[in-house]
Structure 1
Amino acid sequence: MQIRQTAVSPAHNQHKLNPSKEDDPMKIKPFTLILLALSIILLAACSSAAPETVQVEVTRVVTEIVEVEGEAVEVTVLVVETVSEAIESEIAAEETMEEPAAEAPIAVAPQTDSAESIAPMPTPSPVGTAVPPADMFFQDYGVNPYILTSADNLSTFSLDVDTGSYSIARRYINDGLMPPPNAIRVEEFVNSFDQGYLNPPDTGFAVYADGAPSPFHNDGTYFLRVGVQGYDVEEEFRPAAALTFVIDVSGSMGQDNRLGLVKESLQLLVDRMRSDDTVAIVVYGSNARVVLNPTNGSDRSTILSAIYGLNSEGSTNLEAGLNLGYELANRAYKPGGINRVIIASDGVANVGNTGPEALAAQIRGYADSGISLTTIGFGMGNYNDVLMEQLADNGDGNYAYVDNMDEAERLFVDNLMSTLQTIALDAKIQVEFDANVVQQYRLIGYENRAIADQDFRNDDIDAAEFGAGHSAAAIYAVQFVPGANGRIGTVNLRWQDPDTRRVQEISGTFNTWDLSSSFESAPTHFQLAVVTSQFAELLRGSYWAEGVTYNDLRIWADRLAAQMNDADVHELASLIRQVSS
């Protein structure tokens, strides 16, 4: 349900026998001694447990010259030879040609008529059977505990609309691997799915809350979902955009056709550019250089020629690429327009400053002056998730990971406006729980987004950027005071308008009578958010997911996929099914 709130004005928002000897200097007699070797074919009875261990004996005809009583005699010999492994290999090969091996069941989004992916969705492999990629960098942010409301009734955090963690986990599972626990950020799983919220008609944001008893616990645990929906902007009404692509062309980008996927992904975005937009391109390997100065968005051939002409080279000087990219973006700045740097990389940096903190410090000033950042990750093995996420956070932007063209289309086509146009800066949430009703609570996820309670209204504290039409949700596990009824809590949302820099705040309340009586009677999008959060909890080995099983989640995910008939939900159900099997 949408919770009661104050009205605000819109924000400007995965073996040969020896060969016969035909020529011999010895004289051959006119008679021939023929030796016959009886050929017996032995068929090994195949047990039901091992039908592949069939052995057969094969007859071969061989002509040889032998000496008998001092005379050279031509002898024809039938040789019996036992063959096992070679026959098995041939049979296996024939069976493979005749009938393909059955694939793990999967339901994915239908292919579009757009360009065919050069990095297609991999066929799912049995999870745990593949070789893990090397040099993957993630960070452990810990797991939030339960908090006694009587000790601290305020829960404060920055909103997060990133989705990179879920896409990386999907790639691992589809490659037959379990993702590393440190790669899992619960909120990025939850926010990879539509929350089902209505677009606010005449306000900048709407705040929502719903809840229901947990289907996985018998200790009185309830799940709550607190969410925010930003107003949407039709693409035809968006401001002119000045985009600067900063593309990693280092040697590592030549692996697994990463650079090829970058090219196809960016073409999707170029195809959406208008005549009043500009596109500039900076590339970096050992050094950085400008490949394309700001070019009119309608000149697609020039832009795409520059993109498809790129080749991998050298080391990875991300620092040089960032600096040059921002300098170019600053020169192409459009007052009142969308000004954004888009980094396409595997996150590796091995020349110059390479740490997230040092790099982030260099872009902070540009972010404060209105140039936002989007970081897009590519590749498995030699990939730095930490760097890509933190750059986006410090650049007032968002982080996504592209593992296939479906994800690229979701980012640059389906969610173009939320990717490009910012409607809020420093968006923060503070939930004030009522200690008379809520005994204890636990925020599931957002561990690296925590903000000190006293800093909720400190406008110097950096928080999240929110794009047009974006939604974000947080899942809480709560336990109520026995027999208590009334106000569960008040949700406060605070943000800064990107155009006027005016700070705005709205709030709303949520009560016990607003809860659903059972989990299955709760809204399907709420059920989906909870199932997704628990999937992430299991993948990261959370203590608080004890008692929840993958099979439990599979049952609910399969049911939701059937009820919602949504390709993304079918895909989630497939991932859970692969892990649970």
Structure 2
Amino acid sequence: MLMVMGFQESFAAVKTITGKVTDKADGKGLPGVMVSLPTGKTYTRTDKDGRYSISVAEDAESLSFSYIGYKTLRVKIGKFSSLNVVMEHSVQSLNEVVAVGYGTMKKSEIVGAAPANVMIRGMASGIWVGPERNTESYAGISENGFRNPGKNPLSTFAVDVDAASYSNVRRFINNGGMPPKDAVRIEEMINYFDYEYPQPKGNDPVNIVTEIADAPWNANHKLVQIGLQGKKIPTDNLPASNLVFLIDVSGSMNQPNKLPLLIASFKLLTEQLRPEDKVAIVVYAGNSGLVLPSTPGNEKTKIKEALNKLSAGGSTAGGAGIQLAYQVATDNFIKGGNNRIILATDGDFNVGASSDKDMESLIEEKRKSGVFLTVLGYGMGNMKDSKMETLADKGNGNYAYIDNISEARKVLINEFGGTLFTIAKDVKLQLEFNPDKVQAYRLIGYENRLLQDRDFNDDKKDAGEMGSGHTVTALYEIIPAGIKSSFLDSVDKLKYQFNKTPVRGNGSAEMLTVKLRYKTPDGHTSKLISKAVIDQSAPFSHTSNNFRFAAAVAEFGMLLRQSEFKQDASYGQLIGIAENAKGKDKEGYRSEFIKLAKSAKLMAEELLSSAKK
């Protein structure tokens, strides 16, 4: 069913116009055509058959029909309630991409044109979006493969509580297109959701939970879930905050789904502040500047007025802005408090320290001050995902992508403590696998969080952070001992040295041991937690909602990535699993995931059908 997106031009009487848009060359319906009033404030898109329905004011004079690769048409409405339109190819625009709503859809996915430029015509949070060049960038991901515990008994990685990938993937799918495969970081998709793990009971701020069952995409394999639960601290008991809002006001932010959405987001956060908290605002464009000195959290009107005065323009001196933000944060440092910079940007740094390497070095140096860094990404078309992820990882912080005001509410209100208050830093996991039980193992996701085995005991090695109430989930796919698999290496015996065979028959019932290291937020020496996991699995259908839902999200990620390890994964299967594992779902995030998976399923089927024609 089509939904008219946008706002009515007035509260006058309205009428509904329906019709079909077809291609002049072959007479077939055109999907994804933008049908709008000339102002663009009311619009919709045609469905997969080229049909549309749009409600307009009674006195509306014309409709505009635009589609990349075709000549734009303006058709008078008159007294008609049905308008069928025939569109003709335009050679000049065949190299364009159309983005509708708050994402992009390559025309090549529909009619085979090669994308080069992007024209964005749509609504982001109810606001018109103008032209923008598509220069989004993502770090390449080479998926983890299966490893032999005889040769590689240890698996070591830093935890990841970032969730930016999921909301970014959602942006693409809600717009009608599949995300680039490197935009899909499976661990971030899994960790977007809360899991009902038990709270820590001892002195440690983190609890380890494990579960084992058959893998849903291969019944001969096992799936192991490692869950971490951070101690939840009531908001009233959280330490005082010294915050610096570091806001990108460069020209690239001059889009309604960037700076206006950003300002609205920070107003939400302002409402959460307490009298003992304080906030400063630093902006950067061609230059950086302090627009609000450190101000008590109960002076909300003053903070909001400073936000309201922001406007975008100029180049992006991100390095200078970060330097000033750290200076302001350290000048107002609260000992034992939450000292944090919240950087809001599209990641487009083009003046001063701009390369990932330069920014990484700058942040690594500045984090020694004890100031943490949270990164909030905004916008589309030129979003620099790889840079924002690097900043958050190296700044002892987290990274979220804000695609709409609802996501801002989730990150800055619902997950206020987890986003802004660190309870454990440099959190690392190391698993040792028993070759008597495990023939091969594979960590699902976390490709950019892998560590050397020796890094686990090295307290100088940076790792991930966990906030108040945060959960972290990691999944391993296991090929049990004795199971034949095409994923197992077939290597000839060595000729010039001994062929080492792992020691077996140790008699242990353990499948693996989980070790975790963490530091307190102001600590320098790590603490160790260890837990042995017995080889005792339940049928998949008898596992917890936590386990099954995480498995469904992982399966979804593998399908989106077109992973070589997806095996018997399918949209139908993961949707069924997720529907039966929603649990309480108080905020509706799991229900939203199911709708998202269903939309992706329809698009995947359509693409497959088109490929067969």
Q: TM-score, normalised by structure 1?
A: 0.77
Q: 1:288 to 1:126 in 2, by over 3 A?
A: closer
**Aligned to 1:281, what secondary structure does the other structure show?**
strand
Between 478-487 and 152-161, report the one with greater CA deviation. Answer: 478-487
440-449 vs 493-502, greater mean Cα deviation = 493-502
Conserved? CA contact 1:554–1:580, under 8 Å? no
Distance 1:394 1:563, change over 3 A: closer
Counterpart for residue 140 of structure 2: 140
- Among 516, 528, 547, the alignment partner of 1:526 is 547
Letter in 2 for 1:209: T
Correspondence for 1:494 among 497, 508, 517: 517
Q: Which residue of 2 aligns with 1:237?
A: 237
Which residue pairs with 2:211 in the alignment?
210
Question: What aligned pairs does 1:239-254 form with structure 2 within 5 A after superposition?
Answer: 239-254=239-254
Which shifted more, 548-557 or 295-304?
A: 548-557
Supply the distance in 1 between the matched residues of 2:78 and 2:600 (Cα, whole angstroms): 32
Q: 2:82 aligns with which of 70, 76, 92?
A: 92
The answer for the alignment partner of 2:35 in structure 1 is none
* Secondary structure of 1:193 counterpart: coil
Name the SS of the counterpart of 2:457 in structure 1.
coil
Query: In the alignment, what sits opposite 2:593?
Result: 572
Residues 432-490 of structure 1: per-residue CA shift (max 9 Å, x gap):
11111111100000111111112210111111111111110111100111499821111
Give the whole-Å Cα distance in 1 for the aligned partners of 2:186 and 2:332.
Answer: 37
Q: Secondary structure at the residue paired with 2:82?
A: helix
Aligned-partner SS, 2:390: helix
Equivalent-residue separation in structure 1 for 2:578 and 2:103 (angstroms): 20
How far apart, in 1, do the equivalents of 2:339 and 2:410 lie?
A: 21
Structure 1 residues 433, 331: CA separation in 2 closer, same or farther (over 3 Å shift)? Answer: same
**Quick one: distance in 1 between partners of 2:559 and 2:50?**
39
Q: Which residue of 2 aligns with 1:369?
A: 369
Q: 1:580 to 1:159 in 2, by over 3 A?
A: same
- Within 2, Cα distance between the matches of 1:494 and 1:430? 9
- Aligned-pair distance for 1:236? 0.2
1:413–1:543 Cα change, 3 Å: same
**What CA distance in whole angstroms lies between the structure 2 residues aligned with 1:257 and 1:573?**
25
Return the offset for 1:414.
Answer: 1.1
- CA change 1:137–1:511 in 2 (3 A) is same
Q: Is the 1:493–1:505 Cα contact (8 Å) retained in structure 2?
A: yes
Deviations 1:398-448 (A, max 9, x none): 000001111111111111111111111111000111111111100000111
Cα distance, 1:123–1:251 mapped onto 2, change above 3 Å: closer
The SS at the match of 1:177 is coil
Matched AA of 1:90 = F
Q: Deviations over 1:69-91 (max 9, x none)?
A: xxxxxxxxxxxxxxxx9899934
For 1:509, the equivalent position in structure 2 comes to 532
Unpaired stretches in structure 1, ≥5 consecutive residues: 1-13, 15-48, 54-84, 95-119
**Counterpart code for 2:250:** S
Residue deviations 1:200-246 (CA, integer Å, cap 9, x gap): 1333211111011122224x111111121111111001111110011
**1:290 aligns to what SS in structure 2?**
strand
Inter-partner Cα distance in structure 2 for 1:473 and 1:429: 11
TM alignment of 1:142-291, pairs within 5 A: 142-203=142-203, 204-218=205-219, 220-291=220-291
Q: Which residue of 2 aligns with 1:302?
A: 302
For 1:328 and 1:282, how far apart are their aligned partners in 2? 9
Partner of 1:335: helix, strand, or coil?
Answer: coil
2:576 aligns to what? 555
User: Counterparts of 1:67-146 in structure 2 under 5 Å?
Assistant: 90-92=80-82, 134-146=134-146
The structural deviation recorded for 1:558 is 3.0
Distance 1:387 1:86, change over 3 A: closer
Contact 2:246 2:281 in 1 (8 A): yes
Structure 1 equivalent of residue 357 of structure 2: 357
Deviations 1:494-532 (A, max 9, x none): 01112343321010011122x21x211110110010110
% same residue: 35
CA contact (8 A) 2:246 2:342 kept: yes
Residue of structure 2 in register with 1:469 after alignment: 469
Gaps of 5+ in 2: 6-27, 30-48, 52-74, 85-99, 121-133, 484-506, 603-613
Map residues 293-442 of structure 1 onto 2, 5 A cutoff.
Answer: 293-442=293-442
Contact 1:490 1:510 (C-alpha < 8 Å) held by counterparts: yes
Report Cα offsets for 1:54-77 as digits up to 9, x if no partner.
xxxxxxxxxxxxxxxxxxxxxxxx
Question: For 1:265-306, what per-residue CA distance to the aligned partner results, in whole angstroms no more than 9, with x for missing partners?
Answer: 111111111111110001111111110011111111111000
Q: What is the CA–CA distance in structure 2 between the aligned matches of 1:87 and 1:412, rounded to whole Å?
A: 45
Aligned partners of 1:367, 1:295: CA distance in 2, in Å? 23
C-alpha displacement of 1:566 = 5.8
- Note the alpha carbon deviations across 1:164-205, whole angstroms, 9 max, x for none: 111100011111111000111111011011121011133321
Q: Is the counterpart of residue 542 in structure 1 residue 536 in structure 2?
A: no
Contact 1:524 1:564 in 2 (8 A): no
Q: Look up the equivalent residue of 1:255 and give its one-letter code.
A: Q
Deviates more, 1:186-195 or 1:128-137: 128-137
- Cα 1:545–1:93, aligned 2, differ >3 Å: closer, same or farther? same
Query: What's the CA shift for 1:562?
Result: 7.8
- Scaled by the length of structure 2, the TM-score of the pair is 0.73
Cα distance, 1:308 vs structure 2: 1.0
For the 8 Å contact 1:158–1:463, the answer to whether it is kept is: yes
Work out the CA distance in 2 between the residues paired with 1:418 and 1:191.
Answer: 12
- TM-aligned CA deviation for residue 391 of structure 1: 0.4
- Over aligned residues, Cα RMSD in angstroms? 2.9
- Note if contact 2:278-2:294 (Cα within 8 Å) is conserved in structure 1: yes
Corresponding position of 1:66: none
Q: How far 1:124 moved relative to its partner?
A: 12
**Which structure is richer in relative contact order (CA contacts within 8 A, separation 6 or more)?**
1
The answer to whether the Cα contact below 8 Å between 2:377 and 2:401 also exists between their aligned partners in 1 is: yes
CA gap 1:300/1:526 in 2 versus in 1, 3 angstroms: same
CA positional deviation for 1:552: 2.2
**Which segment is superposed worse, 480-489 or 224-233?**
480-489
Please tell me the residue identity of whatever aligns with 1:225: Q
CA contact (8 A) 2:426 2:465 kept: yes
Cα distance, 1:129 vs structure 2: 6.0
| CA drift at 1:332 | 1.1
Give how far 1:262 is off: 0.5
